[in-house]
Amino acid sequence: MTTSPRVGPPGEPPQYSPLPPEVRRPLPTTVLWRWRYESVAVIGISTCGLLADHAGRLSETALVAAIGAAFIASTPPLRRAVASRVLCIVSAHRVRTGLAHAWVHNRYGRLPAILVTRPTDYGESVTLWCPAGVGQLQVSAAAGVLRDACWGAQHVQVTTDPRRRHLVTVHVVRRAVDDMMHG
């Protein structure tokens, strides 16, 4: 069984306690929350397709969708906006996977919850709600694993909210920006 050091009184050697064998399985509501964007997209596209097919307008609906996709692909600002939102969704999944593989969880096997992922000038900003027993120190120790998990990341920087220590932000840096964090 794998063990981890537990900090004891100053001057005494650390005591070891067993780690949980694996990350705890999420509840069905947690799985739905994690895959909410993909679920809404699949349900929306399926519903539009069924309604268009029922009305006998499937070819017209497909044509409008193709024109919309071509317009987005041919307009650079729209293309960048869509690509950054897609990268936010992908980064949230990759950060969660990196946290699980780096064993960043509490004694009960609970992973930090991803609250929001935002696009930034340098890449993405992923805000985590850490359960008791997990904080910036544990997430910072896993920065290398998180960088490797996030496709194309140059490096990962971890910060915490000064007033709410359980809120930790993982900055996934994909592009160099001068004075990225300003401190």
62 part of a folded domain = yes
Which residues are within 8 A (CB) of 106 and not within 5 positions of it... i.e. 6 or more apart? Answer: 131, 132, 133, 134
Is the predicted pLDDT of residue 95 greater than 70, yes or no? yes
Q: Is residue 180 part of a domain?
A: no
Confidence band for 170, pLDDT divided at 50, 70 and 90 = very high
Q: For the chain, how many structural domains are there in total?
A: 1
Tell me if 17 is assigned to some domain. no
Residue 1 — pLDDT band, cuts 50, 70, 90?
A: very low
**Residue 96 — φ and ψ, nearest 5°?**
-60, -45
State pTM to two decimals.
0.75
Q: Within a domain: residue 35?
A: yes
On whether residue 132 sits in a domain, the answer given is yes
**What is the residue range of 120's domain?**
25-173
pLDDT 10s digits, 23-72: 778 888 888 888 888 888 889 888 888 888 888 888 888 888 889 889 98
Q: Is 85 part of any domain?
A: yes
